[in-house]
Amino acid sequence: EMTEEKLEIAAQKRPRRRVIGLFLAALCLLVAVIWLLRQPIAEGIAGSICAQQSLKCKLKVSRLDFGGLTFSDLEIRNPDAPNAALTATRLAVDLNWASLFSPRASSVAGDDLVLRLDLSGTRPRLGALDQPVKTFTKSGGVPGPTPRLGFKRIRVIGDTPLGPVEARGHIAATGPDAFVIELEAPPARTGFMGAALELKGGELKVSIAGKEMSGRAKLDLEKFQFHDTIISDVKLDISLEQTSSVLKGAGTASLGVVATKETKLYGATADASIEAAAVDPATFDFGAWLANVRRLSLNASAGEGLVGKTGWTTSALTARIEPSAAGGSGGDISFFAEGVRLE
């Protein structure tokens, strides 16, 4: 039987439930609005972060969800710089939510990435990005795993005192000790203040998987000239291969002319091979590595040359190092020159 007291209690509960219902509805509406406007909000936050780092950023957020975010038409620059420090048509960052309140990047991938480096020696290598990179990579807590990287089309432009040079290729990494880098430098001509550089091309390929490594570097320099210094027709081809315990390398080099006021050398060639203990790039020490060279073969020769007032018509250098029966390695180094003259 409904008493007057029970009716009064029921009447008090109805407004309270209505208020809670309205609050929950408003909260759901707010969450829905934020979700719908998440991309413009993220763009505004990114712009604010750039401004705090004294950078000017243009970007669009084309994806933002619990899986990560994707930037499109990205451009980051110093407001006073004529060229952007970093551009990309797409840059995607996927997140790992293993820790609920501190998600980490599990992969970073991009298309048509252009990175500009300062190779003049007068400013930080990363230019406008140097200080922001230092700020965001400061140690704070336990470092997480290195994210996977995947940049299908990348251009690295280096600003040198002679002008810009560039390399194109791709970079991929599946872990801190498993990555592939392939870059190729197209022909380039540049010059500044009496200096000139003519590059026919170059190539760099590196593949690392755990303790195994392979790599190759090639350079074809047509000419470099600075006032009285001339270097022309330089060709290098170097390859390395490392297993778990042995590093092997081979290379060839040739030089057409190197000439300064006091030195001249024509028609130099060299070929070499080496076998040594495997190296760990993280703890590499050249002196310790050199002491563990097992085999070395070097053959070098040159045509006419001149140093100061001493000249020659031909010269040759040979070196042989091999394991010895007594332990360790040893060998011979010889040099000779023909037609030596004093002027």
Rg (CA), the chain: 31
DSSP for 210-270, please give it.
TTEEEEEEEEEEEEEEETTEEEEEEEEEEEEEE-SSEEEEEEEEEEEEEE-SSEEEEEEEE
Query: What was the pLDDT predicted at 222?
Result: 92
Q: Under 8 Å CB-to-CB from 76, ≥6 apart: which residues?
A: 50, 55, 56, 57, 84, 85, 86, 87, 128, 129
pLDDT confidence band for 7 (50 / 70 / 90): very low
* CA separation for the pair 169, 303 (Å, rounded): 37
b/e 331-343 (16+ beta carbons within 10 angstroms → b): eeeeeeeeeeeee
Q: What is the pLDDT of residue 253?
A: 95
What percent of the chain has a predicted confidence (pLDDT) above 70? 79
Partner residues linked to 58 by β-bridges: 75
- The reported pLDDT for the residue numbered 278 is 84
User: Is the Cβ–Cβ distance between 232 and 196 less than 8 Å?
Assistant: no
* DSSP characters over 99-156: STTS-EEEEEEEESEEEEEE-SSSS-TTGGGHHHHHHHTS--SS--PPPEEEEEEEEE
Q: pLDDT confidence of 127, banded at 50, 70, 90?
A: confident
Structure confidence by residue, pLDDT tens digits, 152-199: 889 988 888 778 888 899 988 887 778 888 999 999 888 777 788 898
56-78, pLDDT tens digit by residue?
Answer: 888 787 777 777 778 888 888 88
- Span of 16-20, 244-248, 267-271, 326-330 with lowest mean pLDDT: 16-20
**Number of neighbouring beta carbons within 10 Å of residue 319:** 15
Across the range 14-28, mean pLDDT stands at 56
154 in Cβ contact with 115 (< 8 Å): yes
pTM: 0.72
Q: Which of 81-85, 133-137, 238-242, 261-265 has the lowest mean pLDDT?
A: 133-137
Q: Give the model's confidence band at 249: pLDDT under 50 very low, under 70 low, under 90 confident, else very high.
A: very high
In the numeric block, which tokens belong to residue 43?
């763009």
252: closest CA among 223, 210, 207, 220?
A: 220
